[in-house]
Chain A
Amino acid sequence: GEDVEQSLFLSVREGDSSVINCTYTDSSSTYLYWYKQEPGAGLQLLTYIFSNMDMKQDQRLTVLLNKKDKHLSLRIADTQTGDSAIYFCAEIFGSSNTGKLIFGQGTTLQVKP
């Protein structure tokens, strides 16, 4: 089936770490993604992970993938007020790479000074 789920809201203090969680259903997904949407703007790819990896680190971002549990997480270290946005988890649906992205509902990250 096509289902990606995320918690809707997360609030952290500036300087803390943020962890946004996501579960997905399609075990044949080759890539999983994190997109960021700032207010009034389109989505921007933040990072992605290939399905044969467990972890990917990119500066302040760490992506963890647990294929057995179909669980994906995004950790943002030293969260800044500029990180306030909606974060979408997404998977490519199906093993044939048609480009069909299934998005989660988005997690609104609020960073308090």
Chain B
Amino acid sequence: AIQMTQSPSSLSASVGDRVTITCRASQGIRNELGWYQQKPGKAPKLLIYAASTLQSGVPSRFSGSGSGTDFTLTISSLQPEDFATYYCLQDYNYPRTFGQGTKLEIK
């Protein structure tokens, strides 16, 4: 199975900060990657698919980039509602695999 490694595992930041989360695949996955946001006690929410396509209704401060093995999720200006855990997910092959998550906390 393809291993997805996110960094950092946790991150403290302030409202208004620019934040970048990285996801690395153990082998090339083209652009077949999505990003999800999960808040405590809630189901995850789709942010981005195909590495850089913003899901309808998701604020434009979220962006994704990358191809091959290295991917990034960027939040251009953190808002209070963005403090959550973020996961990447590869859909290049089976079984699909998630990264371990990045917990974004308020500084």
Do A and B belong to a common assembly?
no
